[in-house]
């Protein structure tokens, strides 16, 4: 079953397109991360889904119901959604239970049903014992849990999360990320999570949609994005990939053979013969002695720094001096010649 579908979705502000003909279909029960740099359109997509913005063109369908399209616009409160904001948006004069139950009033529910849903939502986020507390008595992480419980109490078809971890310190972010995964598994609600933090997206989401300039670059599972980026934009953004210009010579087993200067490599990829890009990351590179073996890329160390129990070397590759990063056990002086083995990479075509 489809959780939601966007078809040709377009939105402009002041003549600039924030979302440009976006087409995206997400399965019911998915945990989708909308990922991309600032200004890529991800928050606008979330606001369009929520009904906080009206599209200029295209349609939005939630389940089997069109909520936005030519001649159709369903108001936010009628879309069956929950939304968790970066700023919590809690009523300071209300208790935790009051904040959670507030949105349930006016839904035609009995007092007993409202109380039951409030208790259930607080139990899901582990705040049963703080039901009588006021927001100022809670930590930042607890306030975010209240905001999450308020949305879960509505039993939404979609739960929209607008960078909900951005204002928290690293320890709280890690703990709440674990809670999001647990809550998604327990509720099976479709989550849509906006973030510019790729580590969060890769750790939390079952599916990631990468946006750039309001357009969809790729929508896939985290491992697929990492191992097989579909465009230079995805390759650069996900995992801080570096793109080396290569000539694709042809198929080689399950991958392709490429030439980078005098070096020939057989690497995974799906690109036709001609100009291409070899995407590499530090995790897929290994140091070898300069000049050996034959399939090692010659490079020169520019800088070294100690990072995470090893040294991270910034190495210039080839005649163009493309910078890449690789880990090693010891510090290397600037100017040291090295060879790099490509243990993992992906080749994509270079568009004209």
- The per-residue pLDDT for range 183-230, each reduced to its tens digit, is 888 888 999 999 888 888 998 899 999 999 999 999 999 999 999 999
On whether both 25 and 172 belong to a single domain, the answer is yes
Rounded mean pLDDT, 242-246:
92
On whether both 187 and 280 belong to a single domain, the answer is no
Q: How far apart are CA 342 and CA 265, in angstroms?
A: 8
More confident site: 177 or 66: 66
Q: Classify strands 57-62 and 65-69 as parallel, antiparallel or unpaired.
A: antiparallel
Residue 235 covered by a domain: no
Q: Indicate if the pLDDT at residue 169 is higher than 80.
A: no
Q: Indicate if the pLDDT at residue 157 is higher than 60.
A: yes
Residue 236 covered by a domain: no
On whether both 106 and 41 belong to a single domain, the answer is yes
Residue 79 covered by a domain: yes
Residue 75 covered by a domain: yes
On whether both 58 and 207 belong to a single domain, the answer is yes
Q: How big is the chain, counted in residues?
A: 352
Percentage above 70 pLDDT, the chain: 96
The pLDDT assigned to 251 comes to 87
On whether both 161 and 278 belong to a single domain, the answer is no
pLDDT bin (cut points 50, 70, 90) of residue 295 is: confident
The pLDDT assigned to 33 comes to 95
Residue 264 covered by a domain: yes
Residue 46 covered by a domain: yes
DSSP secondary structure code for residue 159 in this structure: E
| pLDDT tens profile 71-123 | 999 999 899 898 887 777 888 899 999 999 988 887 888 999 999 999 988 98
The pLDDT assigned to 1 comes to 61
Percentage above 90 pLDDT, the chain: 55
Q: Indicate if the pLDDT at residue 313 is higher than 60.
A: yes
Choose one of 205, 230, 255: the last residue of a domain.
230
Residue 344 covered by a domain: yes
Domain that holds residue 24: 2-230
On whether both 340 and 209 belong to a single domain, the answer is no
On whether both 164 and 64 belong to a single domain, the answer is yes
Choose one of 187, 209, 230: the last residue of a domain.
230
Q: What angle is formed at CA 265 by the lines to CA 261 and CA 270, rounded to 5 degrees?
A: 110
CATH number for position 65: 3.40.50.300
* Contacts of 141 by beta carbon, 8 Å cutoff, 6+ apart: 168, 172, 175, 176
Number of domains in the chain: 2
Residue 257 β-bridge partners: 250, 266
Q: What angle is formed at CA 60 by the lines to CA 210 and CA 191, rounded to 5 degrees?
A: 55
On whether both 159 and 191 belong to a single domain, the answer is yes
Choose one of 197, 230, 263: the last residue of a domain.
230
Q: Indicate if the pLDDT at residue 270 is higher than 60.
A: yes
Q: With 0-12 CB in 10 A as exposed, 13-18 as middle and 19+ as buried, what is 110?
A: exposed
Q: How far apart are CA 142 and CA 127, in angstroms?
A: 8
The pLDDT assigned to 289 comes to 64
CATH number for position 330: 2.40.50.140
Instruction: State the average pLDDT for the chain.
Output: 89
Residue 329 covered by a domain: yes
Q: How far apart are CA 79 and CA 50, in angstroms?
A: 8
pLDDT bin (cut points 50, 70, 90) of residue 321 is: confident
The pLDDT assigned to 50 comes to 94
On whether both 108 and 255 belong to a single domain, the answer is no
The pLDDT assigned to 293 comes to 60
On whether both 126 and 217 belong to a single domain, the answer is yes
| 324 neighbors 315 (Cβ within 8 angstroms) | yes
């Amino acid at each position: 079953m489809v959780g939601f579908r966007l078809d040709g979705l377009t939105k402009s502000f002041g003549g600039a397109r924030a979302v440009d003909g976006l087409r995206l279909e997400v399965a019911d029960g998915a945990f989708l991360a909308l990922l991309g740099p600032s200004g890529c359109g991800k928050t606008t997509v979330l606001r369009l889904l929520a009904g906080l913005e009206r599209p200029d063109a295209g349609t939005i369908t939630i389940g089997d119901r069109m909520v936005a399209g030519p001649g159709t616009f369903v108001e936010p409160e009628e879309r069956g959604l929950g939304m968790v904001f970066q700023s919590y948006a809690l009523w300071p004069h209300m208790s935790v239970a009051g904040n959670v139950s507030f949105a349930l009033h006016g839904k035609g529910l009995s007092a007993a049903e409202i109380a039951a849903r409030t208790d259930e939502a607080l139990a899901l986020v582990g705040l049963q014992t703080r039901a009588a507390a006021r927001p100022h008595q809670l930590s930042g992480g607890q306030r975010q849990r209240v905001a999450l419980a308020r949305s879960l109490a509505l039993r939404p078809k979609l739960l929209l999360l607008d960078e909900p971890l951005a204002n928290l310190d690293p320890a709280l972010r890690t703990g709440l990320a674990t809670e999001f995964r647990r809550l998604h598994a327990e509720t099976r609600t479709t989550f849509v999570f906006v973030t510019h933090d790729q580590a969060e997206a890769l750790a939390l989401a079952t599916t990631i949609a990468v946006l750039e300039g309001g357009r969809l670059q790729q929508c896939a599972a985290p491992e697929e994005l990492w191992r097989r980026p579909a465009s230079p934009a995805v390759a650069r953004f996900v995992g801080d990939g570096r793109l080396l210009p290569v000539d694709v010579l042809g198929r080689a087993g399950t991958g392709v053979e490429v030439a980078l200067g005098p070096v020939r490599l057989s690497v995974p990829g799906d690109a036709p013969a001609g100009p291409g890009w070899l995407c590499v990351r530090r995790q897929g590179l290994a140091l070898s002695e300069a000049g050996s073996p034959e399939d090692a890329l010659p490079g020169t160390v520019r800088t070294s720094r100690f990072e995470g129990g090893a040294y991270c070397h910034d190495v210039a590759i080839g005649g163009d001096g493309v910078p890449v990063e690789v880990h090693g056990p010891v510090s290397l002086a600037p100017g040291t010649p090295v060879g790099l083995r490509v243990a993992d990479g992906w080749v994509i075509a270079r568009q004209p």
